[in-house]
Amino acid sequence: MGNCMVNHWFSVLFLAVWLGLNIFLFVDAFLKYEKADRYYYTRKILGSTLACARASALCLNFNSMLILLPVCRSLLSFLRGTCSLCSRTLRKQLDHNLTFHKLVAYMICLHTAIHIIAHLFNFDRYSRSRQATDGSLASILSSLSHDEKKGGSWLNPIQFRNTTVEYVTFTSIAGLTGVIMTIALILMVTSATEFIRRSYFEVFWYTHHLFIFYILGLGIHGIGGIVRGQTEESINEGHPHKCAEYFEMWDDHDCHCRLPEFEGQPPESWKWILAPVILYICERILRFYRSQQKVVITKVVMHPSKVLELQMNKRGFSMEVGQYIFVNCPSISLLEWHPFTLTSAPEEDFFSIHIRAAGDWTENLIRAFEQQYSPIPRIEVDGPFGTASEDVFQYEVAVLVGAGIGVTPFASILKSIWYKFQCADHNLKTKKIYFYWICRETGAFSWFNDLLTSLEQEMEKLGKVGFLNYRLFLTGWDSNISVVGVFLCGPRTLAKSLRKCCHRYSSLDPRKVQFYFNKENF
């Protein structure tokens, strides 16, 4: 716990501030609508659910303001790579942009649920008070005229006693936009689950663009002004705390209290989201401009294990180690952009990516490049964008761990190191590198083998044999093997742990893989 706080104190502080702001905004808005004289009569109809709905709405505005910022990748890359004021601690927080994006999305879902539930109670109370004939204060307030031309100043959005809540929901701006925003939010959140993103990336990609409808709906959601409060002039003429008990005499000219007048709140949501939306639009324009620049494919290599290597050139393209790009192939899909880590080094006169078949889009792309007598498909590239791997040369010792195609950023790093040694770069802080690569099959090692061999030879020439230590692990399993003998000659503590592992990973089905533990005893 202590080490976690030392390493992630800024993240913990940032999240604490964010949660604190959410709590502060909710409590402040709740107390405002629960205590303010302006909403005294509104509370007579709705009760405390008015404050719950408005407090959650304010938190929705706040988090909707934040939701787009973590996905402004060009801005984050600028802060990470070119802003001299960014310390290592701050740059590390930029690597958690998608985590924060998800946290904000969960907070939006929470406040959306509170907002919807509160308004369900509100509309039920609006409906009951409009249908009431008992002459209560709520029924009198609900019967105020909706005809603005005749000086009417309504409080209850339900005009007629036979009007249903469903009718108001789907005919009012607030109700209709609320339904659209809720549907869009549900589809975005459910399609962003790990299973769908990995198995049906296209579903995730398309449904996530429903955020456009969410943002537009949020901007106009408050135009209808359904939640209304008493006007300042009306409060000055007759304070609600004094006049509420005389509501039966409001129509009496001899009474000092007059019919209260109400007005809706001007929409506020657009003020919260305007700046982030403009920033995001600028981001998309910049990325669209970059993606339209011509990309020349200089070399295509098919590696074992269905891995495609593309070497490309693009005017003005500049990269750092470990960065990634978004790739689009218009002949496969006009709208789908997929991220790939760059495997080339900044010192090389081209940039490259390695693509493994892991879905419909990648399989179609590999198939398109495998066709020998067809023209090479056109590729569009957006990026590059920064990642945590950019800081690898800031450490004296680096431990690189890659699994499968996840080795790609380390290919860029190791290539760059090779070039730095070739040029005798004395600014290199790194003194030692430990590299671990885990793969399921031997074919996956082949495309990376040449780089490791040449780098190892270069280290030997320079007398730095211990600079690079690498270990390759093969995790694939032969399905025809059912019995495995495990043998140990070592201490009891290790024997105990190894025996537990053998029991844990042995199948309960005796016809499947069984691990048998054996230990030397002297």
Domains of the chain: 18-285 (no CATH), 296-476 (2.40.30.10), 479-521 (no CATH)
| Residue 277 C-beta-side C-alpha neighbours within 13 Å | 16
341-362 pLDDT, tens per residue?
888 888 888 888 888 877 778 8
| Ordered DSSP codes for 45-64 | HHTTHHHHHHHHHHHHHHHH
Give pLDDT tens digits for 427-451. 778 888 888 888 776 666 666 676 6
The answer on pLDDT for 114 being more than 90 is yes
pLDDT digits (tens, 9 = 90+) for 203-221: 888 899 999 999 999 999 9
Give the list of residues 6+ apart from residue 432 with CB closer than 8 angstroms, or none.
396, 397, 398, 466, 467, 469
Q: How far is CA 171 from CA 157, 180, 250, 393, in A?
A: 11, 13, 32, 60
Q: What is the pTM of this model?
A: 0.78
pLDDT (0 to 100) of residue 84 = 46
Q: Is 144:157 a contact under the CB 8 Å cutoff?
A: no
Q: What is the mean pLDDT of residues 51-64?
A: 94
pLDDT digit string, tens, across residues 287-328 = 888 888 888 988 888 877 778 888 999 888 888 888 888 998
User: Which of 447, 370, 345 shows the shortest CA–CA distance to 404?
Assistant: 447
Q: Are 413 and 392 in contact (CB under 8 A)?
A: yes
Q: How confident is the model at residue 187 (pLDDT cuts 50, 70, 90)?
A: very high
